Structure 1
Amino acid sequence: MPLNDSHNAPGYVCGRLIAAYELIVNRTGQELPLNDLTLSATNPAYVLPRLRARQVQKALARMRRQNPGGTARVEDYIADLAARLDDFPKRLDSEQGAQYILGEAHQKGAGLPF
């Protein structure tokens, strides 16, 4: 199933964000810690801002030196995703967790606008 850019359920958007973060960090030859990836599926309010402040910011800084225009597109893309949420959910129930898994898979399949 392709990426559904009009689907703004919090679980789906959080799944897309973690997938985008993972794609960004992987682009620089790094990986996000497995425990952060696992915990983000149940507690996005704790994990997503922390990842953004640490590993993702470092990866974006490295990417910016090599491809400023591509990095700007990715940063705008991430900002658009984050703007779809009023706040990061503290906990995802089972339905939101399923939406999270779909959003993550769809985003990984679609990639990012590098």
Structure 2
Amino acid sequence: WILPVLRVLAPMKRLRGTAFDPFGYMAERRLERRVIADYEGIAGRVLTGLRHDNEAEALAILSLFDEIRGFGPVKEAAVRTIMAKISDRLKVYETPQAKQQAPADAA
């Protein structure tokens, strides 16, 4: 009984990502699109400040997005948690090197 239904649905995959996508307006899909846009923006910021000595930190920041998993409220909570971690790490990453070393020199 499912095959006829799938045959009807199959041509509708062309609607994905368009204004006519019936599932594109769901909160979870909007969240996923926002996370993609956030990733692209943060990747740009990370690449702008990329140096040989901070490659590992840049990779660590961008890899945090891989931890966003789940569905519904689980995914929403993961996004909030991971975005907070990313924000904290970006502050340190984007702080000029001289400022990061200043407190250690004063001690």
User: TM-score range with shorter-chain normalisation?
Assistant: 0.3 to 0.5
With CA pairs under 8 Å and 6+ residues apart, which has the higher RCO, 1 or 2? 1
Q: Which has the larger radius of gyration?
A: 2
> What's the TM-score once normalised by structure 1's chain length?
0.35
